[in-house]
Amino acid sequence: MDDLRDKYIDLIANAGDEASLEDLRVQAVGKKGEISLKMRELGKMTPEERQIMGPKLNALKDEINTALSAKKEALADAALNERLKAEWLDVTLPARDARVGTIHPVSQVIEEVTTIFADMGFSVAEGPQIDTDFYNFDALNIPGHHPARAEMDTFYMHRAEGDNRPPHVLRTHTSPVQIRSMEEHGAPLRIICPGRVYRADYDQTHTPMFHQVEGLAIDKNISMANLKWVLEEFFSAYFGTTVKTRFRASHFPFTEPSAEVDIQCQWKDGSVVVGEGDDWLEVLGSGMVHPKVLAAGGIDPDEWQGFAFGMGIDRIAMLKYGIPDLRAFFDSDLRWLRHYGFASLDVPTIRGGLSR
Ligand code: PHE
């Protein structure tokens, strides 16, 4: 029996992997293993022999089982050590960039604008970007022959021969939403409409697609004074400083009287600071809604009046965040904007800063 013990203890010690260890277990203590067979022989022994051999065999079985599990653990440890040696991690390598998406500056400004006007009781209205020339022009008192149609450099939608739907355009301003909102809600009305508009124009301050926000307030006893107050409240909240405004007489077919609105600013070393100084910068067109426009929207001009304005969103975004070229918003990627320190793009990464 000592031979048997020495044989298996030796074999177990030299087993190279878990599979051969399992073979050894079956050979030694498995159902038909050598030790199990010996145990079966106990039955044929005399009681005296059995009393001696029984405990010995049990002890041997225990010893072999213990050796097997010790070896099994050792093999697993060795395997883990091998893996650890092969798969190592260089914790001194710089971390990979965590790419964090950010909201587009124009979207952010639209949100800021919406919040400020919401505080003054304006709700948000929307209209289609492809609209009929009726909503974009006629209903706004811009008839077919009117020079404003040419001035606006309108993109017309292609029409196949025989297509007799009304002509459609890419809206040249957000003003058509005035008409759609009047039709839908009637008076009184207090809405803004931020959105994309299109004109065939391209230079440092013009892109073929840009953003406007339309404002429209219709009620009884509305005047230009209300318009001026609303705009000054808006600009002061938006720029975070008191901003004076100046009205300049102007002409729009859809307002009477009409005014262009300038905000107070100062040019300092080639850049503009809003809310100080004696310079003025044009930021929007406005006026009292023309009676014909009210009527086109189904509102009785003898009973109601209103003011309207249309402001360039990209323009006021450039002013607030110091971006000199409008094309940067739509042509280049966001790294370019970061270069100009656009605040909303300075998002923390998990390393606590931007790497570019
Ligand atoms: N729609 C005009 C434009 O695009 C702006 C405007 C809106 C003027 C409302 C007056 C009233 O230039």
Indicate the top mutation candidate among 153, 171, 205, 252 to test ligand 1's pocket, ranked by most ligand atoms within 8 A of CB.
252
Q: Is the CB of 154 under 6 A from ligand 1?
A: no
pLDDT beyond 60 at 338: no
pLDDT beyond 50 at 354: no
Q: Is the CB of 312 under 6 A from ligand 1?
A: no
| % of the chain at pLDDT higher than 70 | 90
| Average pLDDT score over residue span 166-183 | 96
d(CA 227, CA 235): 12
Q: Which residue has the higher pLDDT, 329 or 23?
A: 23
CA dihedral for 194, 117, 215, 176, sign (positive or negative)? positive
User: Which pLDDT does position 286 carry in this prediction?
Assistant: 98
pLDDT beyond 60 at 339: no
pLDDT beyond 80 at 29: yes
Q: Whose CA is nearest to atom 9 of ligand 1?
A: 309
Q: Is the CB of 255 under 6 A from ligand 1?
A: yes
Is residue 219 helix, strand or coil?
A: strand
For the chain, what is the mean pLDDT?
A: 87
**Interval 33-88: pLDDT, tens:** 888 888 888 888 888 888 888 888 888 999 999 999 999 999 999 889 988 888 88
User: Which pLDDT does position 268 carry in this prediction?
Assistant: 78
pLDDT beyond 60 at 300: yes
Q: Which helix (H) or strand (E) holds 246?
A: strand 245-252
Q: Whose CA is nearest to atom 12 of ligand 1?
A: 285
User: Which pLDDT does position 152 carry in this prediction?
Assistant: 65
| pLDDT interval class at 335 (50, 70, 90) | low
Q: What are phi and psi of 332, to 5 degrees?
A: -105, 175
User: Which pLDDT does position 3 carry in this prediction?
Assistant: 86
User: Which pLDDT does position 248 carry in this prediction?
Assistant: 97
| Average pLDDT score over residue span 89-115 | 88
Mean pLDDT lowest for which of 95-99, 156-160, 291-295, 334-338? Answer: 334-338
pLDDT beyond 90 at 189: yes
User: Which pLDDT does position 351 carry in this prediction?
Assistant: 35
Q: Is the CB of 287 under 6 A from ligand 1?
A: yes
pLDDT beyond 50 at 247: yes
The CA–CA distances, whole Å, from 228 to 81, 103, 128, 202, 256 equal: 77, 31, 29, 31, 15
Q: What does the buried/exposed string (b/e) look like for 4-24 if buried means 16 or more CB atoms within 10 Å of the residue's CB?
A: ebeebeebbeebeeeeebeeb
| pLDDT interval class at 287 (50, 70, 90) | very high
Report the number of secondary-structure helices (H) and strands (E) in the chain.
13, 10
pLDDT beyond 80 at 308: yes
User: Which pLDDT does position 220 carry in this prediction?
Assistant: 96
